[in-house]
Amino acid sequence: MKESYDYIIVGGGSSGCVAAARLATASDARVLLLEGGHSHRHPLLDMPPGIFKMINGSKFMRYHRTVPQEHLNNRVHDIPQGNVLGGGSSVNAQVYMRGRPSDYDEWHELLRGDNDYPGWGWKDVLPHFRGMEGNNRLQNDLHGSEGPLLVSDPGHVEDLSRWFVQSVQAMGEPYNHDFNGPAQRGVGFYQFMNRRGKRSSAAYAFIAPLEGRKNFRLELNARVSKINIENGIAKSVTFRDKSGAERIAHAGREIIMAAGALVTPQLLMLSGIGDAAQLKAHGIACLADLPGVGQNLIDHPEVPIIAIANGRYGYFKQGVGWRMIRNGLQFRLFGSGPILSAGVEAGAFVNPIDPDDEPSIQAFCVPIVYLDRDILTLVENTYGLTITTVVIKPKSRGFVKLRSSNPEDMPLVSPNLLKHPDDMRTMIEGQRYFLKAFGKPPLAGKFTKVAIPDPANISDEAIATHCKRFVKTNYHPSGTCRMGPTGDSMAVLDTRLRVRGVERLRVCDLSAMPNINAGNTNAPAMMMGSRCAELILQQN
Hey, is 278 helix, strand or coil? Answer: helix
Tell me how far apart the 2 most distant CA atoms of the chain are, in Å.
72
Mark whether 261 and 282 lie in a shared domain: yes
| Confidence category of residue 333, pLDDT binned at 50, 70, 90 | low
Mark whether 18 and 82 lie in a shared domain: yes
Hey, is 256 helix, strand or coil? Answer: strand
Residue 149 has pLDDT above 90, yes or no: yes
Positive or negative: CA dihedral 107, 481, 45, 64:
negative
- What's the CATH code of the domain at 159? 3.30.410.40
Q: Which of 520, 524, 13 is nearest to 302 (CA)?
A: 520
The pLDDT of residue 316: 81
Distance of alpha carbon 88 from alpha carbon 82, whole angstroms = 5
- Report pLDDT digits (tens) over 253-300: 999 999 999 999 999 999 999 999 999 999 999 999 999 999 999 999
Hey, is 43 helix, strand or coil? Answer: helix
Q: How many domains does the chain have?
A: 2
Distance of alpha carbon 175 from alpha carbon 189, whole angstroms = 9
Residue 462 has pLDDT above 90, yes or no: yes
Mark whether 222 and 131 lie in a shared domain: yes
Is 5:24 a contact under the CB 8 Å cutoff? no
> Is 194 domain-assigned?
no
Residue 52 has pLDDT above 80, yes or no: no
Mark whether 328 and 449 lie in a shared domain: yes
Residue 336 has pLDDT above 80, yes or no: no
The residue from 40, 77, 143, 476 that is catalytic is: 476
Q: Which of 501, 500, 504 is nearest to 491 (CA)?
A: 500
| Confidence category of residue 48, pLDDT binned at 50, 70, 90 | confident
Angle at Cα 442 formed by Cα 436 and Cα 448, nearest 5°? Answer: 70
The pLDDT of residue 341: 83
Residue 376 has pLDDT above 80, yes or no: no
Residue 318 has pLDDT above 70, yes or no: no
Distance of alpha carbon 107 from alpha carbon 120, whole angstroms = 6
Mark whether 382 and 454 lie in a shared domain: yes
Mark whether 108 and 3 lie in a shared domain: yes
The pLDDT of residue 329: 74
Find the domain containing 278 and state its range. 1-66+77-147+199-297+478-540
Hey, is 95 helix, strand or coil? Answer: strand
Distance of alpha carbon 87 from alpha carbon 477, whole angstroms = 13
What average pLDDT does the segment 118-134 reach?
98
> Is 403 domain-assigned?
no
| Confidence category of residue 55, pLDDT binned at 50, 70, 90 | low
> Is 399 domain-assigned?
no
Mark whether 166 and 119 lie in a shared domain: no
The pLDDT of residue 129: 98
Q: Which of 332, 330, 91 is nearest to 199 (CA)?
A: 91
What average pLDDT does the segment 434-455 reach?
96
The pLDDT of residue 444: 97
Percent of residues, the chain, with pLDDT higher than 90: 87
- What's the CATH code of the domain at 17? 3.50.50.60
Mean pLDDT of the chain: 94
What are the angstrom distances between the C-alpha of 397 and each of 255, 362, 419? 28, 19, 8
Hey, is 225 helix, strand or coil? Answer: strand
> Is 411 domain-assigned?
no
476 catalytically annotated: yes
Percent of residues, the chain, with pLDDT higher than 70: 98
